[in-house]
Chains A and B, each alone.
Chain A
């Protein structure tokens, strides 16, 4: 009996509060205070101080895949980069846009954050990368579980795309 009284009071109180809300100007859509999410975010920042996977710099990681080591000439090979843009527009553009986060991360400046081997392996071997490379795994989660598609590029095509990335 005591419990039901308490409940009734709570109910009435919430009704009153609800009525109070009505007086505010109606806005388009609705919003929910995502307090919980923010709290979680704060907590994790405090606990581990982790930079988002897409923003982290990890030049020592070569990833998992066919490319074990590679060296880039200082000079950009423009012909190769042009070919790379052509391949990129056909195979990658649907998910990766220059200068903005889209389905996946933007490719500009990627070589400031990743080794060329890692980039090549992510293009050539994405299914294994998102399972075995810790950074790629984190990226998959950061990008909402949207898988990096294997677009069947040859190593030569992937190399050209990499050269194109250097021009961005």
Chain B
């Protein structure tokens, strides 16, 4: 055994190691508070306080997390096919992804927003935009499934969407890219004056949430980046940030940054609604899909709509005004009182805040600084409430805690900055890891935010997690904002790119969450509500199998008389009526995904057998101790054979 020759040196060395470790820890944890772990710990079996619906960006979906734990509960398929849930693969949901361009298996989902009543979150639906092939989807929070998708005509890069007014009168979808309206073959360099930007107001039925395009406001050819509704005193207005007011069609990186100020467009939608209700606007030929999923038939249907009502803003005096706002503003955020409209000028060093009251006064006094294509431009100084001076670099988006504070993300300086409404002073700042885009306070886009946490959504994570090759996860970071200073508690990986999120107190949603679909309400065309109705029918080369499933067998599980060249429809009904007992099914060689069928639900997949043989099918979702026994066979004979169609179970 070696002895330590110089104990003093040894202790010195040891302390050096200890100290250096401590330094390193501090460096890694940054702003992390010491008891962060217990503040985000939700014990096994306990529920989180909030739901967070975080957009999937290029995944096209919407993920559901719990806060403060950051646990992922579900990825709701919206615009992209999802083989796990058969979304866009089974016969029932294929129509949901239909568009005027045909079946589209993907989109880029950006901005979820939760339905409201009287300016407060009611937890009935989440709306979210598909950016690439413009669409708005509605997710029903009683089932956490997408139940309606409407395509937006005359739009391209559906980005300033999908935000709701304070009684969910409308969900609004603004175009990012201006395009010829209606679309036509023309030279690109004739953009200026000829391309238009459509701002679409989709009415929402207060009972069933049914969406319908009420009107499209055909605006000048700017890029409409983000939007938010007025609330309280400014209810009835909608605000849109714009950039590329230069109307450039190439090298926008340079050409769309020429103007010192772009605009926030203020739209008095109540005035336009009245105009439209009195027959205003014109019906323009169009072609767009309206897809609705019926919960009783468990089936989606797609209808092509052939016209849309368009409104020229110049023809509705007093309805639209332009508020000069510095440097290509991104986020367009309205505080809970409805007085302040924050323009996050992403190329500006300052944050610009407009006053709704001053805006009305300026409109009253008709103090205009010219017009753009007939739309009055107000004077910057006349509408300015204040400026948050040099709070950071690259302001993107602001939310509010309901206690007079605003929280703004800064992309370039990678931080969240807290500042006070009215005094415009910065009170705190916390770093983000790294390059934060949007942020979310549950209820932040309402009159009543739940000002306890803010979630920052980061574009870059680099060294934050174990590396996974060149592609690494993006992330969300949770800060406690209940005190004067923000405290970083947690960061967690996200699905796809989280562009924005919507959060809500769990209590508002969870009681309404369905446990099963009632069999007696199953009106699927090929559904069966009793094992007595199980059968197989042939219609030419189409074979329809009316199959049931319950722990742990299929009925029928032996089928003969299928021939090569047949198109075999498996219509499978889950007869279970108990919570959390889904069954899955697929058959060897099916050119589609499995079905994952909830209790009381019917789903369909198509199988086109190509070879004679006896082919097994089985349950794909572990359902009971006898799950491995949940299997069956289909006998496939040559196309010219005369085997009778027979089916059985247990014979």
Contacts and interface: CB of A to CB of B under 8 A. Distances in A.
B550 A94 contact: yes
Contacts of B532: 89, 93
Main SS class of interface, A:
loop
B576 interface: yes
A45 interface: no
Q: Using C-beta atoms within 8 Å of the partner chain, give the interface range for chain B.
A: 20 to 34
Main SS class of interface, B:
loop
Given A94-B555, A102-B650, A103-B553, A149 B576 contact: yes
Contacts of A144: 626
B520 interface: yes
Contacts of A145: 624-626
Given A102-B650, A146-B551, A146-B552, A90 B530 contact: yes
B531 A93 contact: yes
B625 A149 contact: no
A144 B551 CA distance: 12
B578 interface: yes
Contacts of A94: 531, 548, 550, 553, 555, 575
A150 B550 contact: no
A151 interface: yes
A152 B575 CA distance: 11
A101 B94 CA distance: 41
Contacts of B578: 149-152
B551 A147 contact: yes
Interface in A11-60: none
Contacts of B650: 102
Interface in B551-575: 551-553, 555, 575
Contacts of B519: 90-91
Nearest to B624: A147
Interface in A99-136: 102-103
A91 B577 contact: yes
A150 B551 CA distance: 11
A147 B625 CA distance: 8
Nearest to A86: B530
B516 interface: yes
A79 interface: no
Given A90-B520, A94-B550, A103-B553, A146 B625 contact: yes
B625 A151 contact: no
A98 B399 CA distance: 64
A146 B628 CA distance: 12
A89 B528 CA distance: 11
A41 to B, nearest CB: 22
Interface in B531-554: 531-532, 548, 550-553
Contacts of A95: 550-551
Nearest to A95: B550
B529 interface: yes
A25 to B, nearest CB: 26
A144 B629 CA distance: 11
Interface in B576-604: 576-578, 581
Contacts of B520: 90
A89 B531 contact: yes
A149 B551 contact: yes
Given A89-B530, A90-B519, A90-B520, A149 B626 contact: no
A150 B576 CA distance: 8
Contacts of B552: 146
Nearest to B534: A94
A146 B530 contact: no
A95 B530 CA distance: 11
A155 B639 CA distance: 52
Contacts of B624: 145-147
Nearest to A150: B578
B636 to A, nearest CB: 22
A152 B577 CA distance: 6
Contacts of B530: 89-90, 93
Q: Which of A89, A95, A152 has the most CB of B within 10 A?
A: A152
A144 B529 CA distance: 26
Contacts of B551: 95, 146-147, 149
B521 to A, nearest CB: 12
A140 to B, nearest CB: 9
B574 to A, nearest CB: 10
Given A93-B530, A94-B555, A102-B650, A150 B577 contact: yes
Nearest to B528: A90
Interface string B610-629: 00000000000000111000
A89 B575 CA distance: 11
Nearest to B550: A94
B148 to A, nearest CB: 28
Nearest to A103: B553
Nearest to B599: A152
Contacts of A93: 530-532
A152 B47 CA distance: 25
B526 to A, nearest CB: 17
A147 B529 CA distance: 21
Contact of A151 (B531, B555, B576, B626): B576
A145 B627 CA distance: 11
Nearest to B548: A94
A94 B650 CA distance: 12
Contact of A152 (B516, B529, B555): B516
Contacts of A89: 530-532
Contacts of A152: 516, 577-578
A90 B581 contact: no
A37 B12 CA distance: 73
The 3 lowest CB-CB distance pairs between A and B, nearest first, are: A152-B577, A145-B625, A94-B550
27 contacts: A89-B530, A89-B531, A89-B532, A90-B519, A90-B529, A90-B530, A90-B575, A91-B519, A91-B575, A93-B530, A94-B555, A94-B575, A95-B551, A146-B551, A146-B624, A146-B625, A146-B626, A147-B551, A147-B624, A147-B625, A149-B550, A149-B576, A149-B577, A149-B581, A151-B578, A152-B516, A152-B578
Interface of A: 89-91, 93-95, 102-103, 144-147, 149-153
Given A91-B519, A93-B532, 20 more contacts: A89-B530, A90-B519, A90-B529, A90-B575, A91-B575, A93-B530, A94-B531, A94-B550, A94-B555, A94-B575, A145-B625, A145-B626, A146-B626, A149-B550, A149-B581, A151-B576, A151-B578, A152-B516, A152-B578, A153-B577
